[in-house]
Amino acid sequence: MKDCIFCKIIKGEIPCHKIYEDDNFLAFLDIQPIAKGHTLIIPKKHYNTFEETPSDLLEKIMPVIQKIGIALKKSLAADGFNIGLNNGQAAGQLILHTHFHVIPRFNDDGLHTWPSVKCTEEEFKQITESIKAKIK
């Protein structure tokens, strides 16, 4: 994709701090890290969103994410890590090239978890049925 920053990184037109590469994927440090070691893992082939990314590629990316998460933990002496993906503008996706975030976490890092919303038993039931009906 011509104007995609991540495609430019893959082609070597924009520099990055590369930490891993194989035939299908590239992993590099996020330029505005939430925590030191915050890494992005991207498929080398351009797909705008997670939804559009073929499932066989997603199957292959999971072990890579796991490998990198473990390496981040060991190298930074982190206590855990978050795996994240923003799918769509509403979810905070700024760059339209599928990418997973792996963010090292520390027991005392002060990063808070997401807030929760109230949901009645009726809503839980209704939402469950409506999601189940849409699974293909």
As annotated, the active-site residues are 99
CA distances (Å), 52 to each of 33, 43, 78, 84, 97, in order? 26, 12, 32, 17, 10
Interactions with ligand AMP, residue window 33-52 (CB under 6 A): 40
Instruction: Say how far apart CA 27 and CA 71 lie, in whole Å.
Output: 12
CB-based contact 101:38 (threshold 8 Å): yes
Residue 94 or residue 135: which is nearer to ligand AMP going by CB?
94
* Least spacing, CB of residue 99 vs Zn ion, in Å: 9
Instruction: Say how far apart CA 136 and CA 128 lie, in whole Å.
Output: 15
- Residue 72 CB neighbour total at 10 angstroms: 22
Instruction: Say how far apart CA 75 and CA 65 lie, in whole Å.
Output: 15
Residue 49 or residue 82: which is nearer to Zn ion going by CB?
49
| Residue 7 interacts with, from ligand AMP, Zn ion, none (CB under 5-8 Å by kind) | Zn ion
Query: What x/- string results for residues 60 through 99 when contact with ligand AMP is judged by CB under 6 A?
Result: --------------------------x-----xxxx----
Interactions with ligand AMP, residue window 95-124 (CB under 6 A): 95
Question: Is residue 16 involved in binding ligand AMP (CB under 6 A)?
Answer: yes
Task: Enumerate the H helices of 23-111 as residue ranges.
Answer: 55-76
User: Site residues (CB under 6 A) for ligand AMP?
Assistant: 5, 14, 16, 30-32, 40, 86, 92-95
